[in-house]
C-alpha cells in the first residue's frame, strides 16, 4: 500500500508527540449543570381568563414563580406562546409579591408604556415583542428597571397589547415635564 504524500515535512515521531501535547492541553472540563444563574428579582407569571361569574381578581391565576435564568426558560418553553392564547386572555409577569392589578400598593400612582399590535401582526411579531420585553424585565435591562413592576400581554379581538406596568410617579412626571 502506497503512503500518502503530505505537504508537511514532519516525521511520524514528531506527529505523535504533537498529538500527545494536543490531547494533554484539551483535557475535558466536566460541566456542572446544577449551577443556576440567579436573577436580581423573583418573578411570577400570571394568567387571566375572563369568567363573568367571578371577580376580576379571582380570574387572575398564579402560574409559577422563578428566580433563576434556567427556571425562566423552563417555564417559557412549557407554556403556550402569547400568539397561541385565546381571545380575551392575558399573560402577566410581575415581580413576586406584586399582583397584576392597579389596586396593588406597588402599582399605586403608576403608569404604563403600551405597545398596540394589529391582529394581523399576531402571528409574526407578538411572540418576539413579548419575549424581548420579558428578557428586558428579568434581565433588568430597562433604564429604570427598579421602578418597573411587570408587563402584561392582552390578547383581544381588535388587536393585542403589551404594556410595562408601574413606572413610579416621579419618573412619569420627569418624562411629561410636569
Helix intervals (H) in 26-88: 56-59, 69-76
Chain segment 48-60, per-residue pLDDT in tens: 999 999 998 999 9
Where exactly are the structural domains of the chain?
38-176
Under the banding of pLDDT at 50, 70 and 90, the label for residue 175 is very low
> Whole-prediction pTM value?
0.73
Query: Which is more confident, 83 or 12?
Result: 83
Phi and psi of 133, rounded to 5°?
-70, -40
Q: Could you name the CATH architecture of 38-176?
A: 2-Layer Sandwich (3.30)
Under the banding of pLDDT at 50, 70 and 90, the label for residue 33 is confident
Distance CA 87, CA 93 (A): 18
By the 10 Å C-beta count (0-12 exposed, 13-18 middle, 19+ buried), 42 is classed as middle
Q: Which are the contacts of 157, defined by CB distance < 8 A and separation ≥ 6?
A: 87, 88, 119
- Cβ atoms of 56 and 101 within 8 Å: the answer is yes
Q: Sheet holding 38-49: strands in order across?
A: 60-68, 38-49, 89-95, 150-154, 159-165, 112-118
Beta strands in the chain (DSSP E): 38-49, 60-68, 89-95, 112-118, 150-154, 159-165
Chain segment 66-94, per-residue pLDDT in tens: 999 999 999 999 999 999 999 999 999 99
Q: How confident is the model at residue 167, as a pLDDT?
A: 41
Q: How confident is the model at residue 173, as a pLDDT?
A: 36
Amino acid at each position: 500500500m502506497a503512503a500518502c504524500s503530505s505537504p508537511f515535512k514532519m516525521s511520524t515521531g514528531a506527529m505523535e508527540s504533537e498529538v500527545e501535547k494536543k490531547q494533554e492541553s484539551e483535557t475535558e472540563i466536566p460541566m456542572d449543570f446544577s449551577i443556576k444563574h440567579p436573577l436580581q428579582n423573583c418573578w411570577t407569571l400570571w394568567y387571566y381568563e375572563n369568567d363573568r361569574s367571578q371577580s376580576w381578581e379571582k380570574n387572575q391565576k398564579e402560574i409559577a414563580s422563578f428566580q433563576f435564568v434556567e427556571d425562566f426558560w423552563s417555564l417559557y418553553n412549557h407554556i403556550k406562546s402569547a400568539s397561541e392564547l385565546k381571545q380575551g386572555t392575558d399573560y402577566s409577569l410581575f415581580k413576586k409579591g406584586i399582583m397584576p392589578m392597579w389596586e396593588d400598593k406597588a402599582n399605586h400612582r403608576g403608569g404604563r408604556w403600551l405597545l398596540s399590535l394589529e391582529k394581523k401582526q399576531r402571528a409574526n411579531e407578538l411572540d418576539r415583542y413579548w419575549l424581548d420585553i420579558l428578557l428586558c424585565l428579568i434581565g433588568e435591562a430597562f433604564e429604570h428597571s427598579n421602578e418597573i413592576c411587570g408587563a402584561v400581554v392582552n390578547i383581544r379581538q381588535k388587536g393585542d397589547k403589551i404594556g410595562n406596568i408601574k413606572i413610579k410617579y416621579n419618573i412619569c412626571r420627569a418624562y411629561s415635564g410636569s
